[in-house]
């Protein structure tokens, strides 16, 4: 009952986090990767100490492209001894010149850089990037609609005191909470540090968060449904808030342990996994953490809030 009784505290904390995230998204926005805005990306790594960032930039700026890339590209450290270069879509000839210029930094900028290895080259046209944006947005909306329909169907026999479709709406509120916060964190990180871009892996992580979070929420809701049925069948019928509080207590340890083991695995991937998966792991970690939090501290107590509000409305009539 502690969580249900003190639900306004948890609501306040979540509202603050969501508002701050929305402000960050509104002011700074998300930095789209080449998957969504189109362009080319080159990752390269030096076998020893990498040259200074300015030295590599100076070498790249000597290139004469039409249109010019000077001042329009993003060069950021990548891994221990590498850089990632993001720029407009380039031709095969321009790519050859870039590779040559970057290779020259070994000889020109540092005698301890060793050799340079080009790890990855990606190029996405603007049309494909726009298509990826549209499909990603559609996939997220479809997932949310399917979740509402599924929960409404699964809880169709629970009409009192809270209607089944309200379980679905409350779940969506929780899911929005779970994806807005990591998106806001990425908006802040991208503003202060280059490299925190939104790509298809970010969207994949958001879809995983939606699936994981709703799984956790359904477990608690299902226990509410079971305890509600048992309470209605017994002589000592419990209040709805008591039923919800009891259900949270019964599933609390299970939810925390499940999420904790998942978070440990994701943390390991983030700390020692490949550089290419770090942003993916970071989004997952933040989203699953707040997904577990919202399932326990937001979604289930909201059932009590909806029931209380409905009762107050009935008294006024």
**The model scores a pTM over 0.85:** no
Q: How far is residue 293's CA from residue 32's CA, in Å, rounded to a whole number?
A: 28
Give the tens place of pLDDT for each residue, 44-69: 888 877 788 888 888 888 888 888 88
The total of other beta-carbon atoms located within 10 Å of residue 205's CB is: 25
Give CA–CA dist 291/174, Å, rounded. Answer: 8
Distance in angstroms (rounded) separating the CA atoms of residues 19 and 29? 14
Cα dihedral 150→306→24→190 (10° resolution) = -30
Mean pLDDT over each residue of the chain, to the nearest integer? 84
Percent of the chain surpassing pLDDT 70: 94
Cβ–Cβ under 8 Å, residues 149 and 274: no
Q: Are 46 and 115 in contact (CB under 8 A)?
A: yes
Q: What is the pLDDT of residues 249-271, one digit of tens each?
A: 888 888 888 889 999 999 999 99
Mean pLDDT score, 33-45: 81
Residue 282's pLDDT band (boundaries 50, 70, 90)?
very high
**Residues 27 and 190: beta-carbon distance below 8 Å:** no
Q: What is the pLDDT of residue 288?
A: 92
Q: Check residue 82 and give its pLDDT.
A: 83
For the stretch 75-90, pLDDT in tens is 888 777 888 888 888 8
Mean pLDDT of 298-315: 83
| pLDDT higher than threshold 60 for residue 305 | yes
Q: 298 with 11: CB under 8 angstroms?
A: yes
Residue 175 has pLDDT above 70, yes or no: yes
Q: What pLDDT, on the 0 to 100 scale, is given for residue 110?
A: 52
Rg (CA), the chain: 25
Is pLDDT at 23 greater than 90 in this prediction? yes
Label residue 264 exposed, middle or buried (CB < 10 Å: 0-12, 13-18, 19+): exposed
Q: Comparing C-alpha atoms, which of 51, 50, 113, 39 is closest to residue 80? A: 50
Token representation of residue 25:
């998204």
**Long-range contact set of residues 123-126: C-beta below 8 Å, sequence gap at least 24:** 123/34, 123/39, 123/40, 123/41, 123/89, 123/90, 124/34, 124/35, 124/38, 124/39, 124/40, 124/89, 125/38, 125/89, 126/37, 126/38, 126/89
Tens of pLDDT, residue by residue over 106-157, are: 666 555 657 888 888 877 776 666 777 788 888 888 888 888 788 778 777 7
């Amino acid at each position: 009952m502690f969580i249900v009784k003190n639900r306004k505290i948890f609501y306040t904390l979540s509202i603050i986090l969501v508002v701050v995230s929305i402000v960050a998204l509104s002011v700074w926005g998300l930095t789209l990767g080449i998957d969504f805005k189109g362009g080319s990306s080159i990752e390269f790594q030096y076998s020893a100490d990498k040259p200074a960032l300015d030295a590599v930039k100076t070498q790249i700026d000597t290139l004469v492209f039409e249109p010019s890339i000077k001042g329009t590209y993003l060069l950021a450290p990548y891994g221990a001894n590498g850089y990632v270069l993001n720029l407009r879509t380039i031709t095969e000839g321009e790519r050859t010149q870039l590779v040559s210029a970057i290779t020259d930094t070994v000889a020109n900028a540092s005698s301890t850089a060793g050799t340079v290895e080009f790890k990855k080259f990606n190029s996405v046209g603007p049309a494909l990037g726009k298509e990826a944006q549209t499909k990603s947005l559609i996939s997220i909306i479809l997932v949310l609609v399917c979740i509402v329909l599924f929960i409404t169907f699964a809880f169709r026999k629970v009409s009192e005191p809270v209607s089944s479709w309200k379980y679905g709406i409350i779940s969506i509120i929780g899911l929005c909470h779970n994806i807005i916060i990591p998106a806001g964190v990425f908006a802040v990180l991208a503003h202060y540090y280059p490299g925190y871009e939104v790509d298809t892996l970010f969207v994949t992580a958001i879809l995983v968060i939606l699936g994981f979070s709703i799984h956790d929420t359904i477990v608690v809701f299902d226990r509410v449904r079971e305890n509600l049925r048992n309470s209605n069948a017994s002589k000592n019928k419990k209040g709805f808030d008591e039923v919800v509080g009891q259900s949270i207590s019964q599933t609390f340890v299970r939810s925390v342990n499940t999420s904790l083991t998942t978070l440990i695995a994701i943390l390991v991937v983030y700390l020692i996994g490949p550089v290419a998966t770090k942003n993916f792991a970071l989004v997952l970690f933040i989203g699953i953490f707040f997904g577990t939090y919202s399932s326990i501290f937001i979604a289930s107590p909201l059932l009590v809030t909806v029931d209380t509000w409905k009762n107050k409305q009935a008294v006024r009539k």
